[in-house]
Every structure is written in C-alpha cells, then in structure tokens.
Structure 1
Amino acid sequence: MSTAPYAVQTATARGRLHPEAEAPTRSPWQRDRDRILHSAGFRTLQYKTQVFLNHEGDFFRTRLTHSLEVAQIARSIARRLGLEEDLTEGLALAHDLGHTPYGHAGEEALARAMQPWGGFDHNTQSLRLVTLLERRYFAFDGLNLTWEMLEGLAKHNGPVDHPTPYVAQYAARHELELGSHASAEAQVAALSDDIAYHAHDLDDGLRAGLLHIEELDSLPVVGAALAAARAAAPAQGASNADPRLRHETIRRVINTLAMDLIGQTQRNLARLAPRSADDIRHAARPVVAYSPAMAEANLAIRHFLYARLYRHWRVNRMARKARLTVESIFTILSSDMTLLPDGTREPALAAREADDMAGACRVVADYIAGMTDRCAMEEYRRLTDLSSPG
C-alpha cells in the first residue's frame, strides 16, 4: 500500500546505530515491530498495572492489553492518513515498555527513591530498555531499532527541551533531533494512547463499580455516545446494568475521538502541504491534533477520570500499598546490594566499589522496573517475611 509523501519513507530511512543487512521479507519497521513483540520487556506488560492491579480481576486492562488497543487505534488512523502503518504500530506497542510494576504509583515511588541518583521516568526507561537493557544479540545491547522508531519513543510527549541524562547521553551517540517534533506516525501513536486509555479506563471503572453509568450523561462526547447507545438498544431498551450498553457506549467514544483526530489532522495537512516527513518534524506545531472543541472535551474527560476514578479511595489504597512495596524493595536492595540476584548483583557491586553510587542504584532501579506486579509482591515477601523462602 502506498503512503503519502509526508509519511516516513523506507528510501530515506536513517538506519540503525549498528548497521545490519536488511531483512529479505520485512521492511525495517516490520522488523522493529517484531523485535519489540519478541522482547522480554513486552512480555512483562501482561502483568503490569494499568489502573487496577493484576490480581484484582482477569478482565481489567493491563499494560499489555492497553498497548494492543493503542496499536489497533493507531494503525487504523495511520491507514486513513496515508502514514507508515508498521512504524506507527511499533511505536504504539513500545510506548509503555519502561513502566514499572503498579503503573504510575510504582513509577512515583521509584522516581522518589532515585531522585538523588538521576531520577526515573518511564519514557526514558522505554528508551533504556530498547537501546541497552534487552540482551538478545551478540553484536549489540538493546534491540538496535531504527532511528525513526527511537526518535518516536524519545519524543512520545513532543519535543524534548530538557532531556534526562540517559536520553541526552544516547542522543549524543545517535542524534535524535530532540528539539523538533516527531514524525506524524509518532504523533498518531501518542494521541492514540490518549484515546485508548480514556475509553478503556471508563470501561474498567464501570465494570469495577467505581463509576456509575448515570454519571456519564453530562460528560462531553461520552454523554452523547451513551445517548446514541441507548437509542440503538432494542425496543424494550437497555438497563444501566446491561454490559452491552457499556460496550456500545465505549466503542462510540473511540470512534468519535478517532474521527475528529483524523478530520482535524487532514485540515492541518492541507494547510501545511508537507512534502516530506521532515516537513512534519519542523512544523511550528504538531500536525496530528484534535479540533479545538474536541481537545476541550478530551480535557474534561481526563479531569472526570482523575476526580472519580484515579483518586477513588479504593484506587488510592491500592496505590499507597504499591508505593510502599516499591519503596521498601528499593530501600532494602540499595542498602545491601549483596541481596540482589545473580546477574544483577555483580554490576551493582562493581559500580558501588568504583564509587559510582548513582550507577549502582540505577542497576537496582532497572531490576525493579523490570518486575511485574506479582513479581514485586513476591520479592517484597522474600525480603521482609521470615516464612518466605529467600
């Protein structure tokens, strides 16, 4: 399928940090996507928190199912806009690779613990994972992804004016043009992330009983989707408890947000008339965007979710326990690195003995960030419970 001139093109691709012969059956972006899918970091997402901890129910989203839903939305939008679909999908699949166990609660705890040693954030950790921490190839550390994939990951939230130490260090080796916008493919992946989590967090909140469907009537976009879902119900109607009403509403929310994004982006493209992917990167503002009215509605949905779901007392309790677990593991292991397992203990001790405490603590942070929810719970037990085997 041909792509638009402003899409990332194979002919002008900027290659990989470590040159490799191209695959005979796959494009560079398909190869990147496949490396992400086969990575250990991607597999661990199946047991990492989105909003609800993994053990709270089998039907709530995890970071893995969230990433798959983002990829589906992103690929559909990319197709309508004439973009490189495989690159867009790969970026969507990889965007949360750096998340800690317990989602944002775990990240907050690890960021606080690492504050004296260079900090921690999951976007930087995603880049660390694909450029350093995955150890699958003799020729290089990381996955040796294309420049275009790494650029999109580094700029997931837009141009990077104040890069973290690792991002700056990596960009010095493999210039990612941090001050410019990312490709249109990366912009689509980033906003598809918003669409997916707004829709499925509403869905999971309703399923968990923390949100009630009557609350959605006055919410922009969502209220209209709910009214349309009720109108589509059989003649006898649908009760608020009918799961089909929830599903019909959520799919309409996704469709409304996606179609607005496509329409506004097409208008932006018509005004800019870009002739290359670099024209997108050097535009004055992001090209992929919602209409002003939809951006305002999207913000209202976000505020609603923060007030009614993310700060719900039940979610707050689990988040507090999650932070305590991550903080405790870090405190114990950073104060006695001989407790670390084989393969992690040696580099941590070597860094400490070289008087590089920041490097030693980074090894501990990488170890914790790679854990799943249940792995972190088990590690906490092993470190604190005498009845648990070491």
Structure 2
Amino acid sequence: MDRVPDKAFETIGFGQEGRAVFATDPAHSRGRLAEERESRTRTPYQRDRDRIVHSTAFRRLKHKTQVFFSHESDHYRTRLTHTIEVAQIARALARALRVDEDLSEAIALVHDFGHTPFGHTGEDVLNECMAAHGGFDHNAQALRVVTKLERRYAEFDGLNLTWETLEGLVKHNGPLRDAETGADLAGPVPQTILNYCELHDLEIDRHAGLEAQLAAIADDVAYNTHDIDDGLRAGLLTFEMLADVRLARDIIAEVDGLYPGLDDNRRGHETTRRLMTRMVEDVIVQTQANIARLAPQSAGDVYRAGETIARFSDEMAELEAELKAFMFKNMYRHPDVMRVRAQAEDVVRDLYAKFIAAPGEMGGRWAGQMERLDEDAVARRVSDYLAGMTDTFALAEHRRLFDRTPELR
C-alpha cells in the first residue's frame, strides 16, 4: 500500500481550529437520565470521562486479560493498557477530524467495562451459562455497569453518563436494528439495552455519532498493532511469519531497509508503530472523503447517514482482514493460548455453578435478599458478580471454593 501523500493532511485539525459542523456539540447534549446541575468547569463529556476514569470498573481493567494472562509477564497488555491505547488513538482521530475529543475519549475509555475476567474466554463461558436467562453480552454488561452496578453517588445508581456517551457505548459498532424493518441486525438485542431504551431511548436503529465511530475504529487499530507486539514478545509470532501478511511484510521491509541489523525488540516496535500510523492515516483520509461525499451539516446528519462514515479505505480494509485472519490462526488460536483458555473456561464455569447453588458464597450485598429474586434474577446477579471479577480475584475465589485450581500457564 503506497504512502498517503502529504497533501491529504493539509486540512486536518491539530486542536487549534474550530469545531466541525457535524461534530457533537456538548452545549446541546441530550442530557442524563437523572437530571443534574451541570459543572461550571467541565463540559458534559469531560465530566463523563472523569467519572469513567474514577470508577471502580475502570480500575479493575488493570487485572483483566487482553490476550495473555497478566501474571505471565508485566510487559503484556492488559484490558486497562489496551483501553488507554484506544483512547489515545480515538482522541487523535477526533482532533484531526475536528469533532469532540472528550466524547471520543470517554467512549473509548468505557467501551470494555463489560468484559469478564480472562478476556473473551470468560465472556463465551458466561454467555453459555446464561443461555436460559438472556445470555451475556459485554456491551450490554457495560451498560449495566454504568447505569446500575457502579454505586458511588448519593442520588443515583451507576455513573449517570450523558445520552451521547451511552449511545456511543451501545452503538459504536453500528446500529442494532434495521431502521426500516425493525429487524435485529446481529442477533437479539440484549434485554438490558431494551430496558434502558424504554427510559432513555438510545435510538438503536441509527448509527452513532462520528465520535463513537472513531472510538470503534481506534479499537481495531490498537489491538491489530499491540497484539502483534505482544505476539512477538511471547514468541508466538516471528518476523518470518509476519512476512506472509502483505501489510506487515511491506512495513518490515521498510524498517529493514532503513535500519539493517536492528535488534528484534526495536525492529518489532518500529514495525508496529509504522503499522499504527499507516492505519490511522488511512482512517483520516477515508473518513474525510466520506464526509466530503455525504456533506453532513450537523451531528444529526451523521446519525441519519445510513452508513459508517469513519472507516478504512477498501484497500486497507482488505489488508486488515488478512491481518486479522493471520492473527486468529497463528496467535489467538495458538495451541498454547487455547490450552490456557480451556483452563480459564473451567474456572468461570465452576464459579458460576457454585454461586448459583450457593449464592451466599458471593458475600456482601451480592448475597443479600436472594429469596426475593426469581431464577432469572439470581442468574443475572451471579453473572454481574462474575463479570466484575478481575483474573486474580476469580482465581482466588476458585482456590477458596475448590480443592484444585489451574495455574493458567
């Protein structure tokens, strides 16, 4: 893929220019479910960001798995470091396109709040366990966390985030229902989302604002690049293997041409940072082209566009799909990773069964008033408790409750 010419970036923002007409305007936020007096020193989206960062759920991300379990090395990404990288990219994209940086950052920081311990492994098992009770979806769980489960404020449960941050959280990957037919687009919409929409309609049949779209594609850029870095560090990937992937091959050749004989650590970093730059620049150029074609004159026009505006070019999308396929085959489904995943599955499955049979073992407020709950509500409370666990706490609870706990190595 040829390098984008400098002229393509002559009109991007650097944080000094005015807001674009299609940006989400914090002065016209649709507000919060529980009415509050607005801050005199922060916009609504800055306030959202601050509440997210100060939440318990945010701190827990430090000890939740991204790909490799955190105890294997202090150098691998965790869910928290991944989230920070996504937020950094989202903010850079928002700045370049002159939309609200704080809103993009807030959505990026909150987007993984619903993830379970042990990465997608925990989510898959919990969804299986909850099949008869509405299933488990990490986006819906994130909504539960920020609207119900966080308990910090005197006047409301959750964080009472703005409509724009919540709709970005729920719809950053696109609409959940077809605007014309009302049909669900990616399986049944989780009941948690439907219940909240009855109180505060998130318009799940429309696209989210550009700020949320940028947070979503920042997530793709972040994990595509940092997972390569972690894979090289773990020895699951090699430069020779990456040479089979067109996007990586071209960049490795560029690095080797500039710095022959570079040690593997620097070679890996130079490769991944150039890969990130290539993808970010592609998003900026393609999104600018889409904006020029659609000519949105307001944030509402972005919602009504009927397509995702912030995206890769067709060429980059093809290269990125090839990279993803390579990563699934060689890293995410590597026998060593799958072996540890199987052990983690057993931990989550054991804990779920134990807490369903003996909910009092959860302790504290989680175990209170269980006799008033029906079967579905008990299962959802157990699911909430498990989903909030860090890897380390889940393993500690398993050791407390069972005679033998895997080491996850």
Which among 367, 377, 384 is matched to residue 395 of structure 2? 377
Which among 198, 202, 206 is matched to residue 228 of structure 2? 202
1:47-104 superposed Cα distances (whole Å, 9 cap, x missing partner): 0000000111100000000000001111111111011000000111110011000000
Q: Is the 8 A contact 1:78 1:188 kept in 2?
A: yes
Q: How far apart are the structure 1 equivalents of 2:403 and 2:83?
A: 34
> Does structure 1 residue 213 correspond to structure 2 residue 239?
yes
What is the TM-score with the length of structure 2 in the denominator? 0.91
Q: Which residue of 2 aligns with 1:109?
A: 125
Q: How far apart are the structure 2 equivalents of 1:84 and 1:347?
A: 43
Q: How far apart are the structure 2 equivalents of 1:127 and 1:54?
A: 25
Q: Is the 8 A contact 1:348 1:364 kept in 2?
A: no
Q: How far apart are the structure 1 equivalents of 2:351 and 2:404?
A: 15
Which among 94, 102, 111 is matched to residue 86 of structure 1? 102
2:365 counterpart SS class = coil
- Cα gap change, 1:256/1:386 in structure 2, threshold over 3 Å: closer, same or farther? closer
1:356-388 superposed Cα distances (whole Å, 9 cap, x missing partner): 11001111110011100010001011111399x
- Cα gap change, 1:347/1:364 in structure 2, threshold over 3 Å: closer, same or farther? farther
2:229 counterpart SS class = helix
2:99 counterpart SS class = coil
1:236-288 superposed Cα distances (whole Å, 9 cap, x missing partner): x225x520000000000000001001000000000111011110011121111
Which among 12, 16, 19 is matched to residue 28 of structure 2? 12
1:1-390 to 2 correspondence within 5 Å? 1=16, 2-161=18-177, 162=184, 163-233=189-259, 237-239=260-262, 241-351=263-373, 356-385=374-403
Q: How far apart are the structure 2 equivalents of 1:361 and 1:223?
A: 48
Q: How far apart are the structure 1 equivalents of 2:123 and 2:404?
A: 27
Q: Is the 8 A contact 1:29 1:87 kept in 2?
A: yes
1:260 counterpart SS class = helix
RMSD: 1.2
Q: How far apart are the structure 2 equivalents of 1:377 and 1:252?
A: 38
1:221 counterpart SS class = helix
1:290-322 superposed Cα distances (whole Å, 9 cap, x missing partner): 110111111001100000000000000111011
Contiguous gaps of at least 5 residues in structure 1:
none
Q: How far apart are the structure 1 equivalents of 2:370 and 2:246?
A: 50
1:343 counterpart SS class = helix
1:320 counterpart SS class = helix
1:181 counterpart SS class = coil
Q: Is the 8 A contact 2:146 2:159 kept in 1?
A: yes
Q: How far apart are the structure 1 equivalents of 2:266 and 2:244?
A: 20
Following superposition, the deviation at residue 337 of structure 1 comes to: 1.4
Following superposition, the deviation at residue 3 of structure 1 comes to: 1.1
Q: Is the 8 A contact 1:347 1:363 kept in 2?
A: no
Amino acid paired to 1:360? V
Q: Is the 8 A contact 1:337 1:349 kept in 2?
A: no
Q: Is the 8 A contact 1:338 1:349 kept in 2?
A: no
- Large movers: runs of 4+ above 2 Å: 347-350
1:177-225 superposed Cα distances (whole Å, 9 cap, x missing partner): 1000000000000000000000000100000001111111231221111
Q: How far apart are the structure 1 equivalents of 2:196 and 2:32?
A: 13
Amino acid paired to 1:200? H
Q: How far apart are the structure 2 equivalents of 1:245 and 1:29?
A: 39
Amino acid paired to 1:265? T
Matched length: 379
2:364 counterpart SS class = coil
Q: Which residue of 1 aligns with 2:12?
A: none
Amino acid paired to 1:254? M
Amino acid paired to 1:333? F
Amino acid paired to 2:26? T
Q: Is the 8 A contact 2:206 2:306 kept in 1?
A: no
Q: How far apart are the structure 2 equivalents of 1:156 and 1:126?
A: 13
Contiguous gaps of at least 5 residues in structure 2:
1-15, 178-183
Q: How far apart are the structure 1 equivalents of 2:90 and 2:57?
A: 21
Q: How far apart are the structure 2 equivalents of 1:132 and 1:313?
A: 39
Amino acid paired to 1:73? I
What is the TM-score with the length of structure 1 in the denominator? 0.95
Following superposition, the deviation at residue 231 of structure 1 comes to: 1.8
Q: Is the 8 A contact 2:25 2:100 kept in 1?
A: yes
2:342 counterpart SS class = helix
